[in-house]
């Protein structure tokens, strides 16, 4: 039995000194682009390897040491990927959608903590050159994450930060063989980010994000599923 499993944890780390200095509510909308490379395998027996290009939007509200953030990300066009699994033997179209809500607190000017909830759905569709043309595999993951991060100013050039998070998710998997089954996942995310001003309130940033997840305890499925996702992200934000 061959299945596909994919989940993406979205992680946001705010510029901590801006949080601690805020005396009133600030609103920070953000737009970003991501290049995501992923590897997925089922019990070591093969899976999907490839990359997708995604765009995202978000908005953050900041008050004193607290912030709340919501953001969504998706690839606007299906991405054709190579696959070596037993079900889709040629290429597939891959789509991914994510939404995340997080609440953070700046302990001081260098360290912050956060908690949040995320939802993500992946859909894989067999292309016409596959014997299963038109068949779909979908995976939905949803649950909580918790993490912490730190950051420092680099002279007057900008701000560098890092963060680490742990997530525990419920999930629903569907394909043409097993229909719908439930399971769970646990994993970690690590990120490093560079952020710098273009003007007093207009900023750009670059991020490198790594996700490692293992999925298990599925009904009707014996194998565990593992995935690794490496994302390179570029963003623009404006503080009102």
Kindly report, residue by residue over 129-152, the tens digit of the pLDDT: 666 666 777 778 889 999 999 988
Note the pTM of the prediction, 2 decimals.
0.78
Q: Tokens at residue 59, please?
A: 């908005």
Q: Give the model confidence (pLDDT) of 76-119 as tens digits.
A: 765 555 544 544 455 677 777 889 999 999 998 888 999 999 98
CA 15 to each of CA 140, 143, 171: distance values in angstroms, whole numbers, following the listed order: 31, 25, 32
Specify the CATH number for the domain of residue 51: 2.40.128.100
- pLDDT at residue 20 greater than cutoff 50: no
**Does residue 240 or residue 134 have the better pLDDT?**
240
Residue 63 lies in a domain: yes
Q: Is the pLDDT of residue 12 over 70?
A: no
pLDDT band at 46; cut points 50, 70, 90: low
* Domain assignment present for 161: yes
Place 214 in a pLDDT band, splitting at 50, 70 and 90.
confident
Most confident of 6-15, 17-26, 145-154: 145-154
- For residue 60, is it within any domain? yes
Q: Report yes or no on 174 lying in a domain.
A: yes
Specify if 1 maps to a domain: no
Q: What token pair was written down for 58?
A: 């978000």
Q: How far apart are CA 132 and CA 135, in angstroms?
A: 6
Note the pLDDT tens digit of each residue in 178-187: 778 888 888 8
pLDDT (average), residues 46-58 = 82
Helix (H/G/I), strand (E/B), else coil: 37: strand
pLDDT higher than threshold 60 for residue 217: yes
Domain count for the chain, please give it.
Answer: 1
Residue 142 covered by a domain: yes
Closest by Cα among 128, 44, 63 to 92: 128
Which residues constitute the domain of residue 197? 16-238
Tell me, yes or no, whether 199 lies in a domain: yes
pLDDT score of 218 more than 70: yes
Higher model confidence: residue 83 or residue 31? 31
pLDDT tens-digit map of 219-230? 777 777 777 888
* Residue 16: per-residue pLDDT: 39
Q: Is residue 3 part of a domain?
A: no
Residue 11 has pLDDT above 70, yes or no: no
Q: 113 vs 67, 140, 177, 201, CA distance in Å?
A: 10, 26, 42, 24
- Mean pLDDT, residues 195-215 taken together: 91
């Amino acid at each position: 039995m061959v299945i596909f499993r994919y989940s993406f944890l979205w992680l946001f780390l705010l510029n901590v000194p801006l949080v601690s200095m805020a005396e009133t509510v600030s609103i920070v909308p953000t737009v970003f682009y991501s290049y995501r490379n992923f590897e997925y395998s089922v019990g070591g027996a093969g899976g999907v390897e490839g990359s997708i290009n995604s765009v995202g939007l978000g908005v953050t509200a900041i008050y004193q040491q607290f912030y709340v953030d919501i953001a969504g990300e998706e690839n606007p066009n299906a991405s054709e990927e190579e696959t070596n699994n037993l079900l889709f033997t040629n290429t597939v179209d891959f789509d991914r959608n994510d939404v995340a809500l997080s609440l953070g607190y700046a302990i001081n000017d260098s360290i912050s903590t956060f908690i949040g909830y995320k939802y993500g759905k992946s859909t894989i569709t067999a292309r016409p050159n596959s014997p299963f043309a038109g068949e779909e595999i979908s995976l939905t993951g949803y649950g909580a994450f918790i993490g912490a991060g730190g950051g420092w100013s680099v002279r007057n050039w900008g701000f560098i930060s890092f963060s680490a998070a742990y997530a525990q998710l419920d999930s629903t998997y569907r394909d043409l063989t097993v229909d719908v089954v439930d399971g769970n996942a646990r994993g970690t995310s690590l990120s490093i980010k560079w952020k710098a001003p273009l003007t007093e309130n207009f900023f750009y940033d670059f991020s490198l994000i790594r996700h490692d997840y293992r999925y298990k305890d599925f009904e009707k499925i014996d194998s565990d599923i593992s995935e690794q996702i490496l994302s390179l992200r570029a963003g623009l934000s404006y503080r009102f």
